[in-house]
Structure 1
Amino acid sequence: MKMLKMMKLEKTKRHAMKKTAETSKKKIGVYIYIPGDIFSEILLRLPARSLGKFRCVCKSRLSITSNTAFVRSNAQLNRITRPSVIVEDLTPPRKICLNFGDANSDQSPIENYQQPTKSIPKHSCAIASCDGLVCLMRITYGSIIQLYVINPLTGQSIALPIDHFQLVCNPGFYFHRSTSKYRLIRVPDANSMRASEVLVVGESSWRPIPGNIPAIFHCPNPLNLNGNIYWLAFSRSTSPSQDKVVIFDQEQEVYSVVSLPPWLVAIFGHDLFDFNGDLGLLVVNMDNTIDVWIMEVNFWIKRYSVNYAQIHGCSSRLASWWFLGGAVIIRDGELLVKLSSECQCRAQPYYKPQHYLVRWNLKSGALVAQQMMAAQGSLYYSIFSYTETLTNPE
């Protein structure tokens, strides 16, 4: 009897040991060794927000995700796969804020842009963006009191010097590959007769750029694309064919000019945008249409046309002047556009601005969604594309 109990006890021990060994094997199987290059490729495809959490795990992951080349590659990938949009609100009483939203959201275009980011101080307006960094001016009583570059995701920022030239006219913000430094360029309008100037982020003074500046009278929404900065140059002439696109080569720091499509007539508004890596031109016409032009091999080609009369709330009783405030290509060939109209009511002698954020399907021309941003107030709403990254502005 005693022997039988001992045998059962031994059998129980062997069973327990076997079970423990099997459990250990399963646990060991979870921790699979991944080569460093493959692990880096996996991390490269993660959103910037997730990468920020991985930095806290160990020193090796902190080292990988802090590498400048890695961060820039992640930003370029996220720009395509996870586009975001900044909606800038400059309406009275000038409580300026930047609202960050997911361009791929299924929500109404404006619903996910309502919460301003906490890292952006009030009374700040964005003047340029590059690689997830935003260059901001902080304005009080019409004067610039602060000029700085900030990463809205991480909250890291660096102040830039403010000199006697208070207004940063026609700005551009870009990455100079040869020096691996971020730079801010300011181009004066055609009336100031000043030279364009460049400031290297981290340095204390601006330096002039030699060479003549193409005539620039008004250049909204500078476009940073493929190593160039693009501005629309509006001439004094009333003929749209006189308007140009001014191009600044970021590496060589030289200017060039290309013409807009010469057969455009009676343009009420036009704007440049990134059309999947190509230079795009958005044109608002008098016949209730918006045309999408693409620059292909130095020639403009009209690719799409949509009807903005589809916007609900557009009344035929109003004489409207439409203005563009930015355009962003988002998922499935959809175009997100900010439109403003300064409408004069025939019954009443005052102007009533209206602002819309509209999403169109370019292939079908159908209106996907719209949202009125403000029934009255300033025309100063704008949108532009943004990519969340871990780039350090310093």
Structure 2
Amino acid sequence: MDAFYASVEQRDFPALRGKALAVGGSPDGRGVVATASYEARKYGVRSAMSSRIAMQLCPQLIFTRPRFDVYKEVSTKIRAIFHRYTDLIEPLSLDEAYLDVTQDKLGIGSAIEIAKAIKLAIREELGLTASAGVSTNKFIAKIASDYQKPDGLTFIGPSKIISFLEQLPIEKFFGVGKVTAQKMKGYGIHTGLDLKQFSEHELIRKFGKSGKFFYHMVRGEDNRSVKPNRISKSVGIEDTFETDMRERKEMVTEFTELCDKLEKRLSGKSKEGRTVTIKIKFSDFSQITRSKTANFYISTADDILALVLELFSKVDTEEKRVRLLGVTLSNFYDADLERLNNPQLRLF
């Protein structure tokens, strides 16, 4: 989907259309931007950017609170459209998914035509635009989906994959973030063609285990299948405060409330896990995480809170102001079960 949260807000509130909009954050500089409209992106405003910096880049920026219940409802409708064409759907988030259309339910006979039909249905039925990438594997399709946003459709056929990847700027590769891109440029790697000059061994030596991924990605090699029943690795919740917290008593109260909310999320997903992680972000935007793994599976607020407080007791917040707290549960029972039943996964 194109600027999903912002596009839903502009659809539902006509006064916001054509305006530089940020979902999340606030005009007083607190919080971070969850999604920016394309009007705001022209000024350099991006997701995960602090509100303060976003305001500096775009003084006329309008902020609105996220409505996650609405986004989830819209996402469900989008998935229903997908299911008209295939049942092999692997969601990545509320606004993105892989579709394997090898099993063409409507007998259309063309992945490009299926993509066009899905885009048209989303526009006509939901009043939103989506971008699609069509190719022979997940990695190339993902890059293609980002190539001509918004409202784009990019097809990269087998004969074009190598030439497309060779000319692609390294920062456009899925999986290469800003830090890695800068590191690559330090080695003279600016495009896919530059990256291909390095052996797998050299890339592993320079980038660790990611080097193997980089070696194969620039050659368009990806044998991963689309997995409809993709297992969630973690479920978490966090809160950014209107005013920085100073008192530990207040923080404990906030952690208690977060654990209550997390229990509800877990019950909705029928999840229970063993590892609790707390996240603390300070007023200077530095942050820490601390984790502890229990010997048994937990899902209730009381059990989670017990580990949270144990972790928090070892964190020094003296003379510090806290702007965000978060709690996450991972190491789920179903993920552990998959590892036991999958010999390849046991190696990790």
Give the TM-score, by structure 1 length.
0.28
Larger Rg: 1
Give the TM-score, by structure 2 length.
0.30
Larger relative contact order (C-alpha < 8 A, sep ≥ 6)? 1
Give the structure with the higher percent helix: 2
